[in-house]
Structure 1
Amino acid sequence: MLMRGEQASQPAGSAILVRASSPVLVGRTAELRALIDVTSQPPAVVLLEGEAGIGKSRLLQELLAQPELRRHWTAMGWCQPLREPFPYGPIVDALGGAGEHLERLRRTGRPLNPLLGALRPMLAEIADHLPAQPAPLGDARAERHRMFRAVRELLATCGPTLLVVEDLHWADEGTTDLLHFLVSQPADNMCVVATYRPEESASLPLTGAHRQGPGTTSAVIRLAPLDEGHVGRLTAALVGEQDVSADFAGRLFRRTAGIPFAIEETLHALRDPAGAVRATGSAAERLLDNLEVPTLLRQAMADRLDRLSPAAVRVAQATAVLAVPASAALIMAVADLPAAETDDGIVQALRAGVLVEASTNRYGFRHALARQAVYDALDGPYRRGLHARAAAVLRAGPSLPYVQIANHLRAAEQIGEWLSTAESAALVAHDSGDSALASELLLELIDEPTISTEQVNRVALALGKSALGMVGERGMITVLGQLLEDPRLTSATRAELRFQRGLLSLRRSGSLDAGREDLEEAVAQLADSNPASALMGMSVLAVAQFGETPASEAQRWLPLVEKGIQRSADPAVRASAAANQLHTLIQLGDPAGLPQALELPDRSDDSEERRALTRAHANVADACGWVGHFSSARRFLRTSQELAGAGGAVPYVCSVTDATEAHLDWWTGRWEGLAERCEQLLDRYLDVQIVADELSLVLASLAIAAGEWDAALDRLDRPGLLSATESCAPMVISAAAARTRLYLSRDDVVSAAHAASRSLALASAKGVWAWAAELLPAATEAYARNGEIATAQALLDAYDLGIAGSDTPLAQAASLHGRGILRLFTGDVRGATGRLRDAAEAYEALPAPYDAALATERAALAAVARGADPTEQLGPLADTFAALGATRDAARCQHALRGHGTVVRSRRGRRGYGDELSPREKDVARLLARGHSNREIAEVLFLSPRTVEHHVARVLHKSGARTRADLRES
C-alpha cells in the first residue's frame, strides 16, 4: 500500500539519552523567587499546590540549593497513600535527623528542655539524645498536646529550620492536627513548606479554623503547567540538545499539557530522543502520536481509576472514546448510564484528577497521554461498541462533526459508512482551510483496500488539491509520486496529479527543474481534458523568479496565459491564473502590471474565487515589494488578509503573506519587534522553504544592521539564499546584497566584491536587473574600494540599460545611489552629493528609510569633507539609525562625529540613568547576550576596548548578573 515516508526504525539497543531530571529549573523563576522570599522571613508557612507531575518536588530541590537557606536545617517528611496510615509518619521521618543537632548542643553544654523527653516513644532512633521521658499525665488529650509542644520545641532547638512535608493530601489525621498546631503557634525560627495536589484534597490544607500565628509570613504558590516555550527549553535540557524544533515542542506541549513529568516520561519512551526533538512537520507528529503511553503514566492512571465507582469508570471510558471534551449529555449517551449516575461519575472523575472541566460544562482529560492510557486499557469488543454508539449519537445531533463521526465509524469497523463519511469530512476540512487534516483523511482512504476505483480517483484528486494548501510539503511530493504509479488511476487523474506535484516541487529546495518538467508535461496532457488546470500550469510556468532559467523563458507563456484568462468563464480560474501572471508582470517592471492588478476584485461570495483572490492579492503584494511599490504592496497585502479572514484562508498562502509582511516591515523601517516576530514565524513555517528563506533573509539583514555578523552569516547560510537553483532569484540576489554589506562593514573588500559578482551574474543571466536594486549600491562600493572603478562604471551602465522604461521605483533609487557612490570614489564630490541627496529623496518617497539614511550619510560625509558642520550633518543621522535599530550604523556616525572633535550627545537627551541601562549600555548588553567578546563589541560600536570594559562592568552591575553567562541566560 501507499508509503507515507515513515521514519526508519532505530536500531535495537539504541541508547536513551534523557536525563532523569532537568539540570536547570525551567519556567519557575517567579515561583522560586517567591519561595525564597517567604522562607527567608520566619516564622513562615508556604503551601505549594499543583497536580501530580507538575514539578513541586523539583522546585523544592532548587529551593534547598539556594544560598539563602544554607544555614537552615531541612527536616523533610513524606505522606504516603497507605491503607493503614502510620500516625505522624511524615513528622517522624522529618525529625529523625535531629540527633546530630542535639549532639552538637550537648557538646556545648547547653541544657535541653525536659519537654523533649516526650518524644522518646515517637523518635526511637534519636532517643539517646533526648532527656528522660516525663511521667504520664493520665489524659490522652493532654499527652497529645504535650507531644505537639515537644515537636515545636525540638524544631526551635535545632536553630533555623525548614520543615518540609510532601504530599499533604495523603496525610493522616494526626499529622494534619500536628501541622495545624505548628502553624498556629510557630517557633520563631521555623518555616513550614507543604506540598499537595488540589485534585486529591477537598479544601486548602492548613486553613479554616486553624489560623496561622501572629507575625507569620504565609503564601500559597500554585504551579501551573509549562507553556509551549518552556516545554521546548525543558526538552532541550533533558535531552542535552539545543536544536529542538518548534514543531516537536508544540506537539509535545499539546500531548502533555505542559506537565513536566509527562514530558520527561514521553522523552524517555522515544527510541532516539536526540534525533526526535529535531523533527518537524508530520515527522514530529508521527513520532509522538504513535508513541505508547509510558509505563509510569499508565500505572498512575490505572491507580486513579481503581479508586472510582464502576459508573465513574464508565464515564472516563466513554470520554476517552469521544477523544474531545464533551457535555454530560453526550457522555451519558455513549456510556449508556442514567443521568444521576453520569453526573456522580463525572464529579468523582473530576475530584480524582482523571477528568478536568476543559471549558464550561465540557469534560475531557488533562492531556492526550491521560486519555490514551484509559483508551488503551479498553477491551476490543467493548471499545468497538462505544465507538459505534458514539457515531450513532453524533449523527443524531443538530450538527454533524464529520471528522469525529468518521473516526468512530472506522474504529467500530463500519468501513462502508466510514469511506463516505471520511470523504465528506475531508471536503469540510479543505473548505474550512485545514488542508493538513483534509490530506490526512484522504491518505487514510487511499490506503483502504476496499475503496472503489471511482472513489480512489476522486480522492486522489482531492488529495493533490489539499496538499497545495498545506504549510510545508510534508512528504506529499513523494506521496503524489507513488500515487502516479497506482494502476487504479485514470490518465486524466494522473495528469492532474502531475500538475499538482509540479506545483509542490517549485516550493521545495532542489526540486525546481523537476517541478517545471512536471508542469510542462501536465499542461500538454490537460490541454483538452481540463483547460482550467492547463491554464494554471501555464501561469505557473510564466513565473519568472524560479531558478536560473532566463526570464524570457517564462515570458513566452504570458500571451498564452492572457488568452486563457480571456476564454475562461470561471472567476476562480481567472483569478488563480492572474495571480501568477500579474506577479511576473510587476516583478519584471512591466508598466501595465500594477494598473491591471488594481482591477482585481477585493471580495467574492464564492468560496473558490475568494481563495483564488486571497492568493492573487498576496502574489501582487510580494511582487510589489521586490520592485519598491511598498505602499501598494501594503494595500494588496491587507486585502489578501481580509479575504483570508472572510473564509478565503489557505494555510500556504497565509505563510507567504506573513513572510511578505515581515519583509515589507524591513524595507519600510518598521523594525520594532520584527526580529522576535520573524523568529516565531520561522519556527512555525520551517517546512515552507521559500517562506523560511525570506524570514531568514530579514533576520540576517537586521543582524547586520545591529553588527551581529556571525549570526547574520548563519542566517544567510541556507541553500535557498545561496543558489537560485535551490530557490527564487530575487531572494538569492537580495541575500548577496546583505552578504556584501556585511563584508564591507568588516573591511573585507575582496570577499564583498566576490559575493556581489556572483549574484550580479545571476541578475544578468535572468535578464532582470531590477532585482539587484539592493545589491547595486553595495556592489558599486565594493568594486570601487577594490580599485575596480571601470567594473563599477560598467555595472552601472548595464544596470541603467536593464531598467530603462521599467516601473521599478526601488531600482531607480538604487541607480542614483550607485552613481553617487562612484562619483565619490572618482573625486567628483559635488556631483556625488547631488546624486546621493536625490537617491535619499527617492528612497524616502517609497518609503525606504534605512536606504535613505545610508544615502544621506554618504552625502553628509561628502558635505563635511567640503567644510560643512559635522554636527548638523551627522548628528540627526545617528539618531535616525538608532531609532531604526541600526546600532552599527548609529555607532559609525557617532564615531565620525568624534573624529571631527564633536562631543556625541546622548540619544535620550539626559546623562543620568540611575539603575537603568543607558542607550549605549543597552547596545553593549545586547551584544554581550549574543556572546560577543569585548574586542568584537568594540569593533561593532567603534569604541576602544577600555571603554567597552567600563560599559560591560556597568551592565553586569545594573542587571544583577554575576557573569556574562548569567546575562546570556536572563
Structure 2
Amino acid sequence: MAGGYPIPGRAALTAWVGSWDPPARCAARGCVVVQPETVSSPALVGRERESAELARALSGGPALVLVEGEAGVGKSRLVQECLAGPAGRRRHAVVATCPPFRESLTLGPVVDALRSARTAVAGRRLSPLAGALRPLFPEWAGDLPPAPEPLTDPGASRHRMFRALAELVDRSGVELLVLEDVHWADDATLEFLLFLLSDRPVRDIGVVLTYRPDDVPAGSLLRRLTSRSRAGLAQVRITLGLLDVAATAGLVSSMLGGEPVSEAFAAFLHDRTDGLPLAVEESVRLLSQRDDVIRRDGEWVRRSLAELSVPPTVRDSVLERVQRLGADARRVLDAAAVLAEPAGDDVLATTAGLSGPRARAALIEAARSGLLGEDPRGRPVFRHVLVGRAVYDAIAGVERRRLHEDAGRALERLRPPPLMQLTRHFRTAGDVPRWARYAERAADAAVASDDHTTAVAVLEPLVTAGGLAAPELARLATKLASAASARRESVDAVHARVIAVLREVLDGAGLAPSSQAELRIPLGRLLLQSGEFEAGRAELERAVPELAHQPAEAAVAMTLLGYPLPGPRPAAEYRGWLERAERAAAGLPSDLDRLSLTADRAAALLVLGEPDGWEVVTRLPRDMPTTEGRCQLARGHANVGYAALLWGRDATARRHLDRALELAESARFARLTATVQELMVLADWLSGRWHGLAERAAALAADDDVEPNAKQGALLVTALLGVVTDRQGAERELRGLLERVRPDSVAAIPLIPAAVLARRELAAGRPDAALELTDAATTTVRTSGTWVWAAELAPVRVQALLASGRRDTAAAFVAAFQRGLDGRDAPAPAAALESCRAALAAADGDHLGAAQLAAAAAARWSSLPRRYEELLAHETGAGHLIAAGRTDDGVALLARTHRRLAQLGARSDSDRVARTLELHGAVAPGAVPARRGRRGYGDELSPRELEVVRLVVTGRTNREIARAVSRSPKTVAAQLNSAMRKLGVTSRTALAVLAVEAGLVGADTER
C-alpha cells in the first residue's frame, strides 16, 4: 500500500520488477544531449512592443530616445536590432560606448563616435571654428583649420568646443548618434548632449542613449537631460523589464535550433534568473557545457537539476558593482546574501554587525546601488536570485559561518520564529544544539501540514551529522523514518538514503531496546515499499516483542506482517499476525490510526482470500476531513480495488479504483495516483476494453513523471496487446518482464505473463516449458493458500500437467484449488476452476462433459465481464464438442468465436481459430468491424499512427504534430514509438526514410 504500506499492486510490481534499472545514459532513452558548440546567440525575444516604439521614434525628425533598464536586460541588443532594421538603415548612425573608467575621459564617447566620420569630413570646407577640434582629433591635422587663439574664460572655451563639435556632426552627415551606458559618461559629454539638443538643433539629429537608472550618480546631468523637452523634439523613454516564462522559453529555444523548450525547463530557468536575458543566455551556455540540457520527445528539457550556478559573466558584473560600494554597504549585502530570505532592516543590520546612524547609512547606500530591491512588504531583498548567489559565493568560509550564526541569533528574536531559516543558519554555522532544536520543530510543522518531503530534507542531514545524544538521535531518526515512509512521491533515491541512515543508527551503540523497536517499524515499512520484503519483515518481527507498551505501534507492525508478500509462507502465519493486530488495536483513540489499520486489515484479508475482508471494507468511511486522512482512505480504496480484481469482482474493483483516484488526485498523492492509473489499465485489459488501450498504456509508460516501478503494469499491458496482435518482439518483451519477477512472488500481476507465455508453449507442443514457467508461482500459491491469485495460473497449469501425462498431479491440483475457493464468492477463480474441471473431464474421455464445463466457464467469464478469457473458453469448448463427435456444433462455435476475437483485436488468436476451422473444411468468415472500438492492426500502422508518420516526414516536432492533430504530445510520442516498433526502426530519421521507401507516405509530402 502506498503511503504507509506497500499496496498490493505496488508490492507486486516491485516484486517482479526486481533489479530493473532505467538506462543510465540519455542516448539509450532516445535523448539528444545539446553540444556547447551548437548553442547559438539568442534572438531578440519578448521585445516586439519596444522594437516598434524605437523604430517609430527613429523614422525621421529630431528625437531623443532614452532606453533604460538594468544590466543584462538587453538595451544594447534592442538598439542593435533596430539599427540593422529598415528604420536604422535609413539614417547615417554612429555608435560609441561610455567605458566604466574611474576617471572618465572628457568628451571621450563623442570623439569615439565621430572618428568614424573622418572620410565624410575630408575634403569639405570647415569653418575656422573647427580648428578648436585639433586637441580632440590630432590625427585629423591635415583636414582641420588652424587652431584658434586660446580663450581665457573656461566657459567660453567649452562653448566654442561644443559649437565646433556640432558643426562636425552637421558636416559629416551624421543623422543618428547612439551612446551606450551613459550612466558612466563624463559631465562634458552630457553637457554637449544638452547643447546638441538645445533650441538650435543640428539638422534632424536623432540621439539614442542607453543607461542603467540605478547606476546614475546623484547630481548627474543625465537626469537634467532625460527631463529636458523642447518644441519639435520627439522624446521617447523605453524601459526594458524582465522576460516572462513564455519569453524565457522563446529565448532558450532560439539558442537551441528553434526546438520547443519544455514548460518545466523554462519555468526552472525563469525562477533562477527572474527572466534577465543575459542571465538566461549565460545559464543555458553553462548548462550545455555540463551536458545538463537534452532533447527528449521533440523538446529541450533539463536533467535532474535543483540549483543553477552563477554564470561568470553575471558574477563578474555583480562583484564589480559591489566593489564600488563602501565597506559598510558591502557588509549589508553580505548579510542579505547569507539571510537569503527577505528580512527587516533591524535583522539585516544586526546580521551585518551595524547599528544606529551607521546602519541606516549603509542600508541606504546598498539600496541605492541597485543590487537590492524591496519585496511587497518593503523589506530589502536582492533584485535577482543570481545576484544574491554571486555575493554569497564571494564570502570567505570562516566569515560565512560567522554571519550565519549572527543571522540565526537575530532571527531567534522574531515571533513566531522562522523555523526553516533558523535550521539552515545554525546548520551552516555548525551550532548543533540549536540546529537540532529548530530542525525538529520545523519537521514537526512540516508533517502537521502534510509535507513529509520537507520533513525528510530537514531531518536527514541532522541525523547523519553526528554529535547527538542517543535518546535524541533515536527520537529524530524515528521521525525521519516515519516522514520518509509517508512521502507521496515515488520510491526513489531518498528511500535508499534514509534506509542506509537508519541502519547505521541501529548498528551504532547506545539505543535502548524500546527505541530500537520504534525505529524498526518505519524502517520495515520503507523496506517493504522499496521491495526488500524479507528484510522489511525481519525488522518488523524484531520490533514486535519490545512494543508491549505501545499497542498502536505494535498493531501497525503486526498488520504489516499479516500482509502476504513474496515468499512461500503459510496463510495461517499471516492470519495469526492479523488476529494479533486486531487485539492490539482495540480501543485506539485516533480516527486516523483506526482508518489506517482498517484499510490495511481489509486488504490483507482479501489478498489472503478471506471473505471476512469484505465486511472490514464496509468500515471504511466515505471521506476524511484532513489531507492525511484522505491519503489513507485513497490507499485503502486502491488496495480493495486491486484485491477485487483478484477475486474477479470487477465492477466492485472499478468503483474502488475510481474513488481511490479521486481521493489521490485531490490530495496530490502522486505516487498512489500513478499506481491507480496503472491498475485501471490492467482492469481494462482484463475486461477486454481494448479500444485505445495500447495508446493509454504507452503514454503511461512514457510519462517521465511516473517512477519506473509504476510503469510496469502499463508495460505489461503493452506487451500483452502486442502478443495477441502478433506484434513483432512482443513475446520477447513479455519474457523480459517475467525474468524480472522474483521466483517466489505471489503477486497476481506477474502470474499473467507467466500464464500467457505458458499457454503459448502449450500451443507449440512444449508442456515441460509451460510447467517450468508456472512452477515457482504454483508452489507459493499452494504454500500460502492464496488461491484467489490463481485465476490466470490454474487452467494453463492443469493443461500442462495433463499434456505431460501427470493426470493424478493435475487432479490433486484441481482439488486443492477447489478447497481453496470453498466459501469464497470469487468469480474469476471460480471461472478458472470450471476450465480446470473441463480439462480433467476431457483427459478422462468425457468430451461432452468437458464441453459443458467449458461453456459454464465461458458464461462465468462473460458475467464479469472478461471477454478475452470468455472467448478462449469458447474455443476450448468448441474443441471438446468436435472431439465428442458434434463437429457441426463445434465448427459453428469456432466461427462465432473467430468473429468475436477479430472484433476484439486478438489477431493471433483469431488466426489460430481460422486455421482450426480450415482443418475441418470450414472457411473462416472475414473479420467483421467491431461495433465498438477500433480493430487491432497488428504489425500494420493504424490510421492515427500513419497520420503521425506522415507529419514526421515533413520534419515537424512532436509538439507541432500534437497541435496539428489535436492530441497531447504524450499521445503523439506513444503513437510514434508504436510506429517505430512496428517498422523495426529506432530513430525518427530512419522512420521517415523507411516510410517513404515503403510507399506509406509520399516523398513529396507537403511541408
TM class, shorter-length: 0.5 to 0.7
Residue matched to 2:741: 723
Q: What is the CA–CA distance in structure 1 between the aligned matches of 2:486 and 2:315, rounded to whole Å?
A: 38
Are the aligned partners of 2:634 and 2:660 in contact in 1 as well (CA < 8 Å)? no
Alignment partner of 2:340 out of 323, 326, 334? 323
Residue matched to 2:709: 690
Higher mean displacement: 312-321 or 598-607: 598-607
Q: Give SS of 1:475's match.
A: helix
Q: Give SS of 2:450's match.
A: coil
Q: Give SS of 2:374's match.
A: strand
Residue matched to 1:636: 660
Report the residue type matching 2:469 in the other structure.
Answer: S
Give the superposition deviation at 1:504: 2.0
Are the aligned partners of 1:721 and 1:727 in contact in 2 as well (CA < 8 Å)? no
Residue matched to 1:460: 477
Is 1:816 the counterpart of 2:832? The answer is no
Is 1:146 the counterpart of 2:198? The answer is no
Give the superposition deviation at 1:507: 3.0
Q: Give SS of 1:723's match.
A: coil
| Matched-pair identity in % | 27
Alignment of 1:99-114 (within 5 A): none
Q: Give SS of 2:1001's match.
A: helix
Compute the TM-score of the two structures, normalised by the length of structure 1.
Answer: 0.62
Residue matched to 2:517: 495
Q: Give SS of 2:530's match.
A: coil
Q: CA RMSD in A?
A: 7.4
Q: What is the CA–CA distance in structure 1 between the aligned matches of 2:193 and 2:726, rounded to whole Å?
A: 63
Q: CA deviation digits over 1:312-360, x for unaligned, max 9?
A: 4444333233331224454356557679887776565455342343444
Are the aligned partners of 2:558 and 2:577 in contact in 1 as well (CA < 8 Å)? yes
Distance 1:596 1:538, change over 3 A: same
Residue matched to 1:476: 498
Q: Give SS of 1:949's match.
A: coil
Distance 1:585 1:50, change over 3 A: farther
Report the residue type matching 2:656 in the other structure.
Answer: S
Alignment partner of 1:83 out of 78, 89, 102? 102
Give the superposition deviation at 1:81: 1.9
Report the residue type matching 2:527 in the other structure.
Answer: S
Are the aligned partners of 1:249 and 1:277 in contact in 2 as well (CA < 8 Å)? no
Q: What is the CA–CA distance in structure 2 between the aligned matches of 1:707 and 1:350, rounded to whole Å?
A: 71
Distance 1:892 1:320, change over 3 A: closer
Are the aligned partners of 1:733 and 1:759 in contact in 2 as well (CA < 8 Å)? no
Is 1:224 the counterpart of 2:246? The answer is no
Distance 1:674 1:271, change over 3 A: closer
Distance 1:606 1:260, change over 3 A: closer
Q: What is the CA–CA distance in structure 2 between the aligned matches of 1:69 and 1:271, rounded to whole Å?
A: 34
Residue matched to 2:1001: 949
Is 1:656 the counterpart of 2:675? The answer is no
Report the residue type matching 2:507 in the other structure.
Answer: E
Alignment of 1:93-492 (within 5 A): 132-133=143-144, 139-149=160-170, 153=174, 170=184, 174=189, 200=215, 222-224=241-243, 273=290, 299-309=316-326, 312-328=329-345, 330-331=347-348, 334=351, 348-366=365-383, 370-375=387-392, 387=404, 390-409=407-426, 415-447=432-464, 450-470=467-487, 471=489, 472=492, 473-492=495-514
Report the residue type matching 1:23 in the other structure.
Answer: T
Alignment of 1:65-76 (within 5 A): none
Q: What is the CA–CA distance in structure 2 between the aligned matches of 1:807 and 1:394, rounded to whole Å?
A: 64
Give the superposition deviation at 1:487: 0.5
Residue matched to 1:575: 595
Q: CA deviation digits over 1:49-79, x for unaligned, max 9?
A: 7754568889999999999999999987544
Q: What is the CA–CA distance in structure 2 between the aligned matches of 1:709 and 1:71, rounded to whole Å?
A: 65
Q: What is the CA–CA distance in structure 2 between the aligned matches of 1:228 and 1:36, rounded to whole Å?
A: 15
Are the aligned partners of 2:333 and 2:391 in contact in 1 as well (CA < 8 Å)? yes
Alignment of 1:527-926 (within 5 A): 528=548, 530-544=550-564, 547=566, 549-550=567-568, 553=570, 556-568=573-585, 569-570=587-588, 571=590, 572-586=592-606, 593=613, 596-603=616-623, 612-613=632-633, 615-617=635-637, 619-620=639-640, 628=650, 629-642=653-666, 644=667, 654-661=670-677, 664=680, 682-683=704-705, 686=707, 690-691=709-710, 693=712, 722-724=740-742, 729=747, 732=750, 767=781, 805-806=825-826, 812=861, 815-820=866-871, 831=893, 873=929, 877-878=933-934, 888-890=941-943, 917=964
Alignment partner of 1:24 out of 33, 39, 43? 39
Report the residue type matching 1:723 in the other structure.
Answer: V
Distance 1:501 1:54, change over 3 A: farther
Give the superposition deviation at 1:482: 1.2
Aligned residue pairs: how many? Answer: 837
Q: Give SS of 1:682's match.
A: coil
Is 1:514 the counterpart of 2:535? The answer is yes
Report the residue type matching 1:461 in the other structure.
Answer: T
Distance 1:95 1:394, change over 3 A: same
Give the superposition deviation at 1:486: 0.8
Q: Give SS of 1:506's match.
A: helix
Q: What is the CA–CA distance in structure 1 between the aligned matches of 2:323 and 2:472, rounded to whole Å?
A: 47
Are the aligned partners of 1:47 and 1:221 in contact in 2 as well (CA < 8 Å)? no
Are the aligned partners of 2:552 and 2:593 in contact in 1 as well (CA < 8 Å)? yes
Are the aligned partners of 1:31 and 1:221 in contact in 2 as well (CA < 8 Å)? no
Are the aligned partners of 2:746 and 2:777 in contact in 1 as well (CA < 8 Å)? no
Q: What is the CA–CA distance in structure 2 between the aligned matches of 1:706 and 1:33, rounded to whole Å?
A: 53
Q: CA deviation digits over 1:414-442, x for unaligned, max 9?
A: 55444433332332233333334433443
Q: Give SS of 1:439's match.
A: helix
Distance 1:498 1:150, change over 3 A: farther
Are the aligned partners of 2:350 and 2:410 in contact in 1 as well (CA < 8 Å)? yes
Are the aligned partners of 1:91 and 1:175 in contact in 2 as well (CA < 8 Å)? no
Distance 1:77 1:422, change over 3 A: same
Q: What is the CA–CA distance in structure 1 between the aligned matches of 2:193 and 2:720, rounded to whole Å?
A: 65
Distance 1:497 1:72, change over 3 A: farther
Q: What is the CA–CA distance in structure 2 between the aligned matches of 1:435 and 1:66, rounded to whole Å?
A: 55
Report the residue type matching 1:518 in the other structure.
Answer: E
Residue matched to 1:7: none
Q: What is the CA–CA distance in structure 2 between the aligned matches of 1:924 and 1:522, rounded to whole Å?
A: 50
Give the superposition deviation at 1:223: 4.8
Q: Give SS of 1:501's match.
A: helix
Residue matched to 2:845: none
Report the residue type matching 1:638 in the other structure.
Answer: E
Report the residue type matching 1:316 in the other structure.
Answer: L
Are the aligned partners of 1:43 and 1:186 in contact in 2 as well (CA < 8 Å)? no
Report the residue type matching 1:581 in the other structure.
Answer: R
Q: CA deviation digits over 1:455-480, x for unaligned, max 9?
A: 22222222222232344315112111
Give the superposition deviation at 1:490: 1.8
Distance 1:916 1:363, change over 3 A: closer
Higher relative contact order (CA closer than 8 Å, sequence separation 6+): 2
Q: What is the CA–CA distance in structure 2 between the aligned matches of 1:607 and 1:921, rounded to whole Å?
A: 30
Report the residue type matching 1:817 in the other structure.
Answer: Y
Report the residue type matching 1:144 in the other structure.
Answer: L
Q: What is the CA–CA distance in structure 1 between the aligned matches of 2:465 and 2:240, rounded to whole Å?
A: 52
Higher mean displacement: 826-835 or 695-704: 695-704
In structure 1, runs of 5+ residues without a counterpart are 1-17, 156-162, 279-283, 646-652, 744-748, 789-793, 841-850, 895-914, 958-970
Q: CA deviation digits over 1:14-69, x for unaligned, max 9?
A: xxxx9996733598685498999999999679998775456888999999999999
Give the superposition deviation at 1:578: 3.2
Distance 1:819 1:604, change over 3 A: closer
